[in-house]
Structure 1
Amino acid sequence: MKQILQSFKTGNTELADVPAPKVKRGQVLIQTTRSLVSLGTERMLVEFGKASLIQKARQQPDKVKMVLDKIKAEGLMPTIETVFNKLEQPLPLGYCNVGKVIAVGEGVSNFKIGDRVASNGQHAEFVCIPQNLVAHVPDSITDEEAAFTVIGSIGLQGIRLIKPTMGETIVVIGLGLIGLMTAEMLVANGCKVIGYDLDDAKIEIAKSKGIIAFNPLKGNDPVKFVLENTKHIGADGVIITASAKTNDIISQAANMSRKRGRIVLVGVIGLDISRAEFYEKELSFQVSCSYGPGRYDDDYEQKGIDYPLPFVRWTEKRNFETVLQLIETGKLQVKELVSDVTPLEEFDKIYGNIGQSKSIASIIKYNENSVPDHSITVNKKTLEANKGVIALVGAGNFAKMTLLPALKGTDAQIKHIVSSGGVNGTALAEKHNIAQSTTDYDLVLDDEDVNLVMITTRHNLHANMVIKALNKGKHVFVEKPLALNAEELESIEEAYKNNKGTLMIGFNRRFSPHTQKIKSIIGDAPMNVIATMNAGAIPSNVWVHDMAVGGGRIIGEACHYLDLIVYLTGSKIKAVCMNALGENPEENTDNASILVKLENGSTGVVNYFANGAKSYSKERLEVYSQEKTLTMDNFIKTTGYGTKGFSKLKTKLDKGHKNQFSTILTELKKGSVELIPYNELINVTKASFAAIESLKEGQWVEVK
């Protein structure tokens, strides 16, 4: 299918070929007929992409600090590689989509094939959208009109926050597309609306809609104008829909407001607020979040869990429906806002001069006879079966920044890369000479050429994908964790037992030269191992914390160090006991210590902390045995004490990924990828489950 993408690295906007998405549970697959270009938002993204690295850094000072911390912890070159990998990731443009439903995912009951719908889908021929971000389009509304649904809901949410009552005076600063729609909805609400903008054409449109509109460049001081039109009382409310870097706008909003007036920010402006201006009038100020309640809440958007209407009357979906109702009843007139309707293939007529465009709303028209293709050829190449053929499943950060760079320069033959949306997978296929980009995992499993399936998706998908691959006779590499619970693990064990494929988990730290040097010095004698991971905080709403999706950070990441202790001691884990920080430790598993007993009498401690400084080393290992002590700092430096003939090993950051993957390729040619004994993989996985159980029970838990 065709999709419009923006490059943050080059600044180019392109119409790319990518595989169409497959319908997912809780979502609907939509064939696009029209989409609306949000010129303000998309102009900002395009201009950011065209900016130099220095200009980008100036626009994101918070990101610069993160980069500097990463340099301190991991070194300059790994950080530079990470930054450039981030910039290479293409960004899909668009969020105002109209089309017809062509497939319905499991668990969806409110939509059927053939329904005409509006959604926040991108500029693509086919989009797969969660049901709470989709609304039915009334028959009397054209596709062009329906394309205004989502952007209209942005303005509507600003109105809901300012809570206007009939007869109040509301000022709208910035009469672009969102501003014009916001002002017209306020008029429909019975408000006296004053608006201003620097574009005379927009001023005339606003006046035609019953708005008192003016251009400050024509001699009208905004504050004076508003005061004169409110009998010097001031505005009851101000909605800012402008996009500007200046702090003048927030100052104007405060000075034109009456005492105890309300100000809501929908756009993007400078926010150096004068306390005196707000203090003297007891003004309230609020920033509006996109389409409304539910935005950025995975439970609502991705899992389809609706907010109860009696308690949250207006969600983002119900805002979509309200905008459609206003268009249907004629209270919101959007036809006259359409500047042009452009075929998708001629997208550059819109984006080629988007920085200078005076258009209000540009509509993209799609070919309604397009057929979804879930796999595309990116590079034509000849594969040698005797070397092993790989399918990579997942095109996220691990695949992009770790796995594929580690395979660079090897003879890895990757035939397929699978990604849910198709965009990231295609970009990685182009960069790393991968033959096919697809969104269809089953297609990969049915390909007899494929020997090895490498799974790097979100954690909740691992178990089912491993089972399906094993049942197809494939060798499987899965980035940790193998499973999220005992039931999933039992199913994997059953599939492994009944099929010929081998299994490997991405416990790469075994393969670091630092780990291997320590093991060669210590040998198999009983030892004490202390492993500390300064993991860094991750916001609580990120998927890794969701036990049903990410499994939490102990199962999802601390398992690396449980495996490392097994490797160094040469013994399986017998029992674990975990304690966590705080009064409610079960809610704080990313600040925890795990005591480990091993079958050969060795002991271990895994400290997994998220409350340390990011500038400090991320990982540290201490090993004590036979009057020897070895310390490893962040897989860069290992120091020996009491170790005759060895004092220090220093390398660039090396967590063992390259050694792990090159060894896998070697063993794949021999018919196996099982670099770690299967019983150790299962033992470590069970130990991670036991750690969580131990925390809940407050006692040691045996690993059986």
Structure 2
Amino acid sequence: MKQVVQNYKSGELALLDVPAPGCGPGGVLVRSAYSLISTGTELMKVSEAGMSMLGKARSRPDQVAKVVQSVATNGVPATYRKVMGKLDSYTPLGYSLCGVVEEVGAGIDDVKTGDLVACAGNEHALHAELNWVPKNLYAPVPDGLAPRSAAFGTVGSIALQGVRRGEPQLGDVALVVGLGLIGQLVVQLLAASGVRVVGADPDPGRCALAVRLGAVDCGEPASAALEAAVAELTGGHGVDQVYLAAGGGSNEPVELAARLSRDRGRVVDIGKCRLDLPWNAYYEKELDVRFSRSYGPGRYDPAYELEGRDYPIGYVRWTERRNLACFLDLLARGRVDVEPLVSHTADFADAVATYRRLKEGDLKAVAVLFRYPRQTGETEPPAVAVPAVEPVRTGVVRAPVRSAKAPVRVAFVGAGTYATSMLLPHLSPLDGVELGTVVTTTALSAANARRKFGFAQATTDLDAVLGDPSVDAVFVVTRHSSHAELTRRALLAGKAVFVEKPLALTEDELAGVLAAVAESGNDRLQVGFNRRFAPLLREAGKQFGARRGPASLRYLVNAGRLENGSWYLRQDTEGTRFTGEGGHFVDTASWLLGADPVSVYAAGPPGGEHLQVVLRYPDASTATLSYATTGPPGFPKETLDLVADGKVLRLDDFVRAAVYDGRRRRWVGSRLPRARDKGQRAELDAFLTAVRTGGPMPVPLQSLVATTAATLAVRTALAGGAPVTLARPR
């Protein structure tokens, strides 16, 4: 098998062929799926190996003391041979991984072959294809948790034990010094515990990441802004705990801790930083200095780690293994998100080059994962590609740019209930709009639309409309199964297109629309995602203000039952109800969160109508869409809550809205119910303005595509029972 090793004398790194370990009693043989590089601890070891002998001695005074003692006991020659022998040997790297159980040793009954486990220990969770792991150093991975996330288990346990040593309480304010891998996890764990967190790090990028992951504020350690933030949050008293997650030889972290701690605050050392405590400062505040020993109780105890002797839970609540299981549970429940920390994923075959890039600074990373060969038994997580929108070509037919005074001449393809109740009543009275032609499949429906709304002409001939140079924009308001094809044809004809949702029912249909954009150079497309244009929701968003940290959004849609015979029930031709309507809610969530989703999870009973959909976003925000078809008809159709940064935005069915900040209501839309306005009028105004002026469409095409792809991915997520990654275009 292959294993990453290092010669501590020469600093050489190698991917070495070594014998595979056997499966002894009291443990399991694990084939690695992912292992994590701890960019702090491991790179420190790699850097030390590259030092001169004097440099090594200076960096490890503890080992020098052992050498001096050995000289006194055994003499110089024997000690020299012993030291050189140890230095000129290969040593392993790594201590945090996730893999598949390949063989179970005697005495093990809590896992079986094929189970996924997270493993810990710098002797048992190495960067190697196979590891033998004793019982107290592994924990089963909860269902649904991705192996790449579970590989963070050991590092997460270190952060978790550090937080436990700080004994935080609800409402506390904590300072995390050092926002590397451990520090970022400490920030999330504290935020999940109801603690307001301030971070300190000289790297602005890491400060920004910590704010995304739940910190209230972050700044450089010596900055006045950091001290001001602490003073504001604590009323000038200072933080309740300081967590030292920094490394290096500077004494600045412990000095900062003394300066910003409250009287009798706690200082917890998690990393390996210099600890020359300024006696007066620590004495005057009577600060409680604590150390956090790695993964938790049991660490460095051979009886616990190697012999499998557990500590009774009544005496030791959180052992090394129980911390590992707890952190995996937090990951599985979404209370901690490690994906934003992954800066790079490398194939295990490229391990040596990856370490070299990290050491030389070519690869700047918070966390790096090694991905092992596929024979590990792990299946790739399902993924749906989000098609890329190619830049349109120049020199081809484009939708005409109208003068400010010229009317926009529109044609309607379809004149059903939605078109005649929600769109045409807004369009027909508008100045600057000319209703040209209405196209329907039956002559009578076309005649009725012409009579009611004043179309210049009615026809059943679509080609005549698409070939009419006087038509500026085409509205596609037909049944779902025809949307993609009609949109494609109208784009190829050089028309601006407004198509009601959904844009497409399948990935192939979506690809066909984008192929028409690329072929024609015409990207003048708008999908009827009107809710982002609703005046009440837009005002509520303005009152809520810009976000600093990740958000949690809940969107309940009381869709109700359909009458027997409704064409919406024809799933074989018209798609599921959520495929047809769900884009509305995905788009609204994405607009409020300011990004496109990166993964989709869905669950629901057979039939695919009643659904729970969870969307995850790049900044660790989540949106949960509850699409219910069995609710009472008298209950409002749509209610939405957005929670972030200590604030809540509440929307009640586009009739009432409010923003709450702290314990008070900061803003309320209206104390009296207003007419329900879901944004159709504002959406039409924005579309017509874009057509008239030649300006950009109201919603970027890539956003329309991403929303459609996410909506279609729900079907894949339901079938697979696992989150679906939305692969972004590169």
Q: Give CA deviations for 1:498-524 in whole Å, capped at 9, x if unaligned.
A: xxxxxxxxxxxxxxxxxxxxxxxxxxx
What does 1:269-348 align with in structure 2 at a 5 Å threshold? Answer: 269-348=273-352
> Does 2:171 match 1:144?
no
Q: Give CA deviations for 1:251-304 in whole Å, capped at 9, x if unaligned.
A: 110121101101100001111112211111111011100000111111111111
Is the contact made by 1:29 and 1:101 (CA closer than 8 Å) also made in structure 2? yes
Measured in 2, the distance between the counterparts of 1:71 and 1:84 equals 14
Measured in 1, the distance between the counterparts of 2:210 and 2:37 equals 20
Q: Which residue of 2 aligns with 1:175?
A: 179
Following superposition, the deviation at residue 96 of structure 1 comes to 0.9
Is the contact made by 1:135 and 1:317 (CA closer than 8 Å) also made in structure 2? yes
Measured in 1, the distance between the counterparts of 2:311 and 2:251 equals 36
Measured in 1, the distance between the counterparts of 2:185 and 2:221 equals 22
Is the contact made by 1:32 and 1:368 (CA closer than 8 Å) also made in structure 2? no
Structure 2 vs 1, CA of residues 66 and 306 (structure 1 numbering), >3 Å: closer, same or farther? closer
Is the contact made by 2:119 and 2:133 (CA closer than 8 Å) also made in structure 1? yes
Q: Could you tell me which amino acid in structure 1 is paired with residue 10 of structure 2?
A: T
Q: Could you tell me which amino acid in structure 2 is paired with residue 46 of structure 1?
A: V
Following superposition, the deviation at residue 71 of structure 1 comes to 3.1
Question: Paired residue for 2:272, among 262, 268, 271?
Answer: 268
| Matched position secondary structure for 2:30 | strand
Structure 2 vs 1, CA of residues 241 and 280 (structure 1 numbering), >3 Å: closer, same or farther? same
Measured in 1, the distance between the counterparts of 2:271 and 2:214 equals 23
Q: Which residue of 2 aligns with 1:632?
A: none
| Matched position secondary structure for 2:309 | coil
Q: Could you tell me which amino acid in structure 2 is paired with residue 302 of structure 1?
A: L
Q: Give CA deviations for 1:632-666 in whole Å, capped at 9, x if unaligned.
A: xxxxxxxxxxxxxxxxxxxxxxxxxxxxxxxxxxx
What does 1:1-12 align with in structure 2 at a 5 Å threshold? Answer: 1-12=1-12
Q: Which residue of 1 aligns with 2:369?
A: 363
Q: Give CA deviations for 1:5-42 in whole Å, capped at 9, x if unaligned.
A: 11111111110100010011111100111101101011
Question: Paired residue for 1:213, among 202, 212, 217?
Answer: 217
Measured in 1, the distance between the counterparts of 2:250 and 2:180 equals 17
Following superposition, the deviation at residue 159 of structure 1 comes to 0.6
> Does 2:169 match 1:165?
yes
Structure 2 vs 1, CA of residues 175 and 12 (structure 1 numbering), >3 Å: closer, same or farther? same
What does 1:113-124 align with in structure 2 at a 5 Å threshold? Answer: 113-120=113-120, 121-124=125-128
Instruction: Provide the TM-score with structure 2 as the length reference.
Output: 0.50
Following superposition, the deviation at residue 225 of structure 1 comes to 4.1
Q: Which residue of 1 aligns with 2:456?
A: none
Structure 2 vs 1, CA of residues 340 and 65 (structure 1 numbering), >3 Å: closer, same or farther? closer
Q: Which residue of 1 aligns with 2:32?
A: 32
Is the contact made by 1:154 and 1:290 (CA closer than 8 Å) also made in structure 2? yes
Q: Which residue of 2 aligns with 1:188?
A: 192
Q: Give CA deviations for 1:527-552 in whole Å, capped at 9, x if unaligned.
A: xxxxxxxxxxxxxxxxxxxxxxxxxx
Structure 2 vs 1, CA of residues 217 and 132 (structure 1 numbering), >3 Å: closer, same or farther? closer
Measured in 2, the distance between the counterparts of 1:245 and 1:331 equals 33
Q: Which residue of 2 aligns with 1:197?
A: 201
> In terms of mean alpha carbon deviation, does 334-343 or 211-220 score higher?
211-220
Is the contact made by 1:240 and 1:265 (CA closer than 8 Å) also made in structure 2? yes
Measured in 2, the distance between the counterparts of 1:22 and 1:263 equals 43
Q: Could you tell me which amino acid in structure 1 is paired with residue 238 of structure 2?
A: G
Structure 2 vs 1, CA of residues 218 and 243 (structure 1 numbering), >3 Å: closer, same or farther? closer
Is the contact made by 1:31 and 1:368 (CA closer than 8 Å) also made in structure 2? no
Q: Which residue of 2 aligns with 1:481?
A: none
Q: Give CA deviations for 1:558-587 in whole Å, capped at 9, x if unaligned.
A: xxxxxxxxxxxxxxxxxxxxxxxxxxxxxx
> Does 2:50 match 1:55?
no
Is the contact made by 1:347 and 1:364 (CA closer than 8 Å) also made in structure 2? yes
Is the contact made by 2:348 and 2:371 (CA closer than 8 Å) also made in structure 1? yes
Q: Could you tell me which amino acid in structure 2 is paired with residue 127 of structure 1?
A: N
* Identical columns (%): 39
> Does 2:20 match 1:14?
no
Q: Give CA deviations for 1:333-366 in whole Å, capped at 9, x if unaligned.
A: 1112111111111113320122324211111011
Question: Paired residue for 2:356, among 343, 349, 352?
Answer: 352
Measured in 2, the distance between the counterparts of 1:25 and 1:256 equals 50
Q: Which residue of 1 aligns with 2:79?
A: 79
Measured in 2, the distance between the counterparts of 1:68 and 1:334 equals 44
What does 1:601-612 align with in structure 2 at a 5 Å threshold? Answer: none
Measured in 2, the distance between the counterparts of 1:368 and 1:115 equals 16
Measured in 2, the distance between the counterparts of 1:63 and 1:290 equals 20
Structure 2 vs 1, CA of residues 302 and 162 (structure 1 numbering), >3 Å: closer, same or farther? same
Q: Could you tell me which amino acid in structure 2 is paired with residue 367 of structure 1?
A: P
Structure 1 runs of 4+ aligned residues shifted over 6 Å read none
Measured in 1, the distance between the counterparts of 2:365 and 2:139 equals 27
| Matched position secondary structure for 1:369 | helix
Q: Which residue of 1 aligns with 2:66?
A: 66
Is the contact made by 1:223 and 1:252 (CA closer than 8 Å) also made in structure 2? no
Is the contact made by 1:185 and 1:332 (CA closer than 8 Å) also made in structure 2? yes
Q: Give CA deviations for 1:81-118 in whole Å, capped at 9, x if unaligned.
A: 11100102221101111111011111111111111000
Measured in 2, the distance between the counterparts of 1:223 and 1:168 equals 17
Measured in 2, the distance between the counterparts of 1:367 and 1:310 equals 42
Q: Could you tell me which amino acid in structure 2 is paired with residue 48 of structure 1?
A: E
Structure 2 vs 1, CA of residues 7 and 221 (structure 1 numbering), >3 Å: closer, same or farther? farther
Question: Paired residue for 1:240, among 240, 244, 249?
Answer: 244
Q: Could you tell me which amino acid in structure 2 is paired with residue 308 of structure 1?
A: P
Q: Could you tell me which amino acid in structure 1 is paired with residue 249 of structure 2?
A: K
| Matched position secondary structure for 1:347 | helix
Is the contact made by 2:30 and 2:103 (CA closer than 8 Å) also made in structure 1? yes
Measured in 1, the distance between the counterparts of 2:329 and 2:201 equals 27
Q: Provide the aligned length of Structure 1 versus Structure 2.
A: 371
> Does 2:96 match 1:96?
yes
| Matched position secondary structure for 1:280 | helix
Following superposition, the deviation at residue 199 of structure 1 comes to 1.4
Q: Give CA deviations for 1:578-607 in whole Å, capped at 9, x if unaligned.
A: xxxxxxxxxxxxxxxxxxxxxxxxxxxxxx
RMSD, matched Cα: 1.7
Instruction: Decide which structure has the larger Cα Rg and report it.
Output: 2
> Does 2:264 match 1:256?
no
Measured in 2, the distance between the counterparts of 1:261 and 1:86 equals 43
Q: Give CA deviations for 1:400-419 in whole Å, capped at 9, x if unaligned.
A: xxxxxxxxxxxxxxxxxxxx
Measured in 1, the distance between the counterparts of 2:49 and 2:106 equals 38
Instruction: Provide the TM-score with structure 1 as the length reference.
Output: 0.51
Measured in 1, the distance between the counterparts of 2:269 and 2:7 equals 28
Structure 2 vs 1, CA of residues 64 and 217 (structure 1 numbering), >3 Å: closer, same or farther? closer
Q: Which residue of 2 aligns with 1:229?
A: 233
| Matched position secondary structure for 2:374 | coil
| Matched position secondary structure for 2:42 | helix
Is the contact made by 2:98 and 2:117 (CA closer than 8 Å) also made in structure 1? yes
Following superposition, the deviation at residue 182 of structure 1 comes to 0.8
Following superposition, the deviation at residue 218 of structure 1 comes to 8.6
Following superposition, the deviation at residue 219 of structure 1 comes to 4.2
